[in-house]
């Protein structure tokens, strides 16, 4: 079995107001592509209701960090009461959406995702020892990468929704000491 370390647990973001659903989806998709994540979209639900559309999307992108470690992110996007509205922007009429959107982010670090260290009990034991005492600083570094990826995406979405101005430096995990890094 793959060893899973939970790095980001249910980071949430909620917004209610005007935004463009398709552009938001494209932005997230494009971000994952630029970060070299492989795409996975196990769920995509859209229901047309009189009070507005209900949309439920689950993205499960993943990226191989090394032959031993893999990063996985789960992004759940639930949108309710999505209506199409026309707004005037810089003198032009633009079609946009109005409604509620909720994001939930989870991030995992998977180690030994190819199950190479599980063929014998001695290998499994050795993997535990190596993970805990020798490879620990590397694993902490990978966790930091996953956290940065998620926080950067979180910041991008906030900027897209105009929740606050985009800042170039993404949020990171609580600072590690220099010796804990690579």
Partner 1 sequence: MAGDKDRFKAATPEGMPQIIKYDGICDIDGLYKLIQQWFVDQGFYFEEPTIKHKVPSPAGAEQDQDMRGWRNVNEYVRFNLKVYLKIRDLKEIEVIKEGKKKRLSKCRLRIYIAGDIELDWQGKFDKSPFLQQLKKFYNKYIIKEDEGIIGGVWWDQLYYRMFKLTTIIKEFLDMESKGNAYYDMW
Binding-site ranges for partner 1 (CB under 8 A): 21-22, 25-26, 29-30, 32-33, 38-49, 53, 55, 57, 60-62, 67, 72, 79, 82, 97, 113-114
In whole angstroms, the minimum distance from the beta carbon of 29 to partner 1 comes to 4
Given a contact cutoff of 8 angstroms between Cβ atoms, the answer to whether 39 and 73 are in contact is no
Question: Nearer Cβ to partner 1, position 40 or 148?
Answer: 40
In whole angstroms, the minimum distance from the beta carbon of 3 to partner 1 comes to 15
In whole angstroms, the minimum distance from the beta carbon of 115 to partner 1 comes to 8
Given a contact cutoff of 8 angstroms between Cβ atoms, the answer to whether 128 and 112 are in contact is no
Tokens of 105: 């982010």
Question: Nearer Cβ to partner 1, position 18 or 173?
Answer: 18
d(CA 151, CA 171): 6
What's the chain's Rg over C-alpha atoms? 20
Question: Nearer Cβ to partner 1, position 82 or 143?
Answer: 82
Q: In the chain, how many H helices and how many E strands? A: 3, 6
The dihedral built from the CA positions of residue 121, 122, 123 and 128, taken in this order, carries a sign that is positive
In whole angstroms, the minimum distance from the beta carbon of 84 to partner 1 comes to 10
Question: Nearer Cβ to partner 1, position 2 or 129?
Answer: 2
């Amino acid at each position: 079995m793959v060893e899973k370390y939970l790095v980001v647990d249910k980071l949430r973001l909620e917004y209610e107001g005007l935004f463009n659903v398709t552009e938001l989806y494209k932005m997230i998709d494009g971000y994952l592509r630029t970060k070299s994540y492989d795409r996975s979209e196990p769920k995509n639900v859209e229901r047309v209701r009189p009070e507005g559309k209900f949309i439920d999307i689950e993205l499960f992108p993943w990226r191989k960090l090394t032959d031993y470690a893999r990063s996985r992110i789960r992004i759940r996007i639930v949108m309710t009461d999505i209506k199409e509205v026309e707004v005037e922007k810089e003198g032009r009429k633009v079609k946009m959406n109005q409604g509620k959107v909720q994001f939930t982010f989870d991030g995992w670090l998977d180690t030994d995702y190819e199950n190479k260290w599980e063929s014998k009990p001695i290998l499994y034991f050795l993997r535990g020892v190596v993970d805990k005492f020798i490879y620990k600083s590397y694993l902490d570094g990978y966790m930091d990468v996953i956290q940065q990826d998620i926080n950067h995406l979180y910041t991008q979405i906030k900027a897209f929704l105009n929740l606050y101005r985009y800042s170039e430096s993404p949020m990171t995990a609580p600072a590690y000491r220099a010796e804990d890094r690579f």
